[in-house]
Amino acid sequence: MERSPLAPTAFPELPTIEGVTLRVARAQYKAWDRCDLTYAELSEGTSVAGVTTKNLCCSSEVELCREGIKGGTARALVVNAGNSNAFTGYRGREAVEQIMGQVAGHLGCAASEVFVSSTGVIGVPLPKDKARAGVDAALSAVSCSWEDAAEAISTTDTFPKGATASVMIGGNKVTLSGIIKGSGMIAPDMATMLGYIFTDAAIEPALLQEMMNEANARSFSCITVDGDTSTSDTVLVFATGKAGNAPLVTRDSPGADAFQAALTDICTQLAHLVVKDGEGAQKFIEIRVTGAASDDSARRIGLSIANSPLVKTAIAGEDANWGRVVMAVGKAGEPANRDTLSISFGGVAVAANGYPVEGYDEAPVAAHLKGQTIEIGVDIGLGSGSATVWTCDLTHGYISINADYRS
């Protein structure tokens, strides 16, 4: 598959995280010549938190993951690529429980401390024989790089995705490294992809969950590619506690605010990479909404614009058709008033207070739309609520990829 034109030039250098060992193996869930099972072994005492899809037809992996998060500790992660194992009934659940038991037996831990994710075609049970053989191979494999792991969790992705962040807490450097996969079936509620963040921070699970919720609300829940929420979406964060910092217990703990900022930063980086690999994407679009009744209202308006096929195809065609933005604001179901609405492209005002800008010159807007990063500004003119969401354009490439996804 051709690499996205929005992809970074190279995979970033991600620091190793003490207490995390990565391995990959070939389970051969599909007829492809690549690793498709990723295994991360975590040191004892690792805290875990996460967010999962709100799709009501979620996979067994998601259901069991939610239960595991309640326990607050993790010893391993297994990710299967090529088969989502969703909508597969008891057979799908048995396959996940088999993996959990197999890894738990190897590590001598509780099965609930083993987290499993799967991604790929919906409606096909994960083959238990292939899963068992793949896990066996991973348990005895040599350790691998972050890039190897990022490639192994991918499906229709055109490039491996990773990001890092760091922060000083009480004289100790705390590092975060993360990988993610996602290209299509991307709409926020919460995330619509598989993402994994690893840190050496010492932090209590309850606080880590609170911080993950906040980071997600500002990142993964603010992206969309096609408006479709997957059955398997999961983002997990694992904290090994090896950095040597005084444990973060509450929001008042020294360094808690700094860690929240770092976690939000890496989540935002990863979220942007997913959008930049949107199926068929040629342009990365940032939509900033201000003047809304509330921040939540601003986010919903932003997503109404970002999910509009008419807006996305206009951007793909480099057409400054701002009337489609007006339409998307009006249909969002949020407080809005046509007589206070203002719109800009690339910082150039095209409409203000309910009217087209007098003497509007489309030339600078047209020039902006020829670039790869597009900025749309919308001021509702009603309040102080604001939000930023990100999406990509909609091209023929999206149809080509999804018309023969199973072949």
**pLDDT for position 407:** 52
Q: Would you say residue 185 has pLDDT above 50?
A: no
Residue pair 39/235 in contact (Cβ under 8 Å)? The answer is: no
What tokens does 204 get?
Answer: 């209590």
Domain boundaries, the chain: 20-276, 284-403
CATH fold of the domain at 284-403: Ubiquitin-like (UB roll) (3.10.20)
Whole-number Å distance between alpha carbons of 315 and 94? 45
Contacts of 276 (CB under 8 A, 6+ apart): 4, 6, 7, 284, 392
- pLDDT interval class at 399 (50, 70, 90): confident
Instruction: Say whether pLDDT at 391 is over 70.
Output: yes
Q: Is the pLDDT of residue 226 over 70?
A: no
* Comparison of pLDDT for 74 and 222, the residue scoring more: 74
pTM of the shown model: 0.92
Known active-site residue 229: no
Res 373: pLDDT:
98
Angle subtended at Cα 194 by Cα 188 and Cα 200, rounded to the nearest 5 degrees: 110
Q: What is the DSSP letter of 56?
A: T
- Judged against a pLDDT cut of 70, whether residue 187 lies above it is answered with no
Give the contacts of 197 (CB within 8 A, at least 6 positions apart). Answer: 176, 177, 178, 235, 236, 237, 238, 263, 266, 267, 270
Considering 192, 229, 234, 268, which one is annotated as catalytic?
Answer: 192
Burial 73-91 (b: 16+ CB within 10 A, else e): bbbbbbbbbbbbbbebeee
301-327 average pLDDT score: 95
Q: What are phi and psi of 79, to 5 degrees?
A: -125, 125
Q: Residue 403 — pLDDT band, cuts 50, 70, 90?
A: low
- The pLDDT assigned to 295 comes to 96
Task: Quickly count helices (H) and strands (E) in the chain.
Answer: 11, 14
Q: Is the pLDDT of residue 230 over 60?
A: no
Residue range 350-364: mean pLDDT, rounded:
93
DSSP type of residue 279: T
Average pLDDT on 157-178 reads: 97
In percent, the amount of the chain with pLDDT more than 70 equals 93
- 295/297 Cα distance (integer angstroms): 5
CB 43 within 8 A of CB 81: no
- Res 189: pLDDT: 44
Mean pLDDT of the chain: 92
Mean pLDDT for the stretch of residues 122-150: 96
- 193: pLDDT confidence band, cut at 50, 70 and 90? confident
Give the pLDDT confidence of 245-264 residue by residue, as tens digits: 999 999 999 999 999 999 99
d(CA 179, CA 181): 7
Which residues lie across from 388 on neighbouring strands? 288
Whether 186 has a pLDDT exceeding 60, the answer reads no
CB burial of residue 141 (10 Å; 0-12, 13-18, 19+): middle
Give the model's pLDDT for residue 167. Answer: 98
Tokens of 113: 């401390």
Name the class of domain 20-276: alpha beta
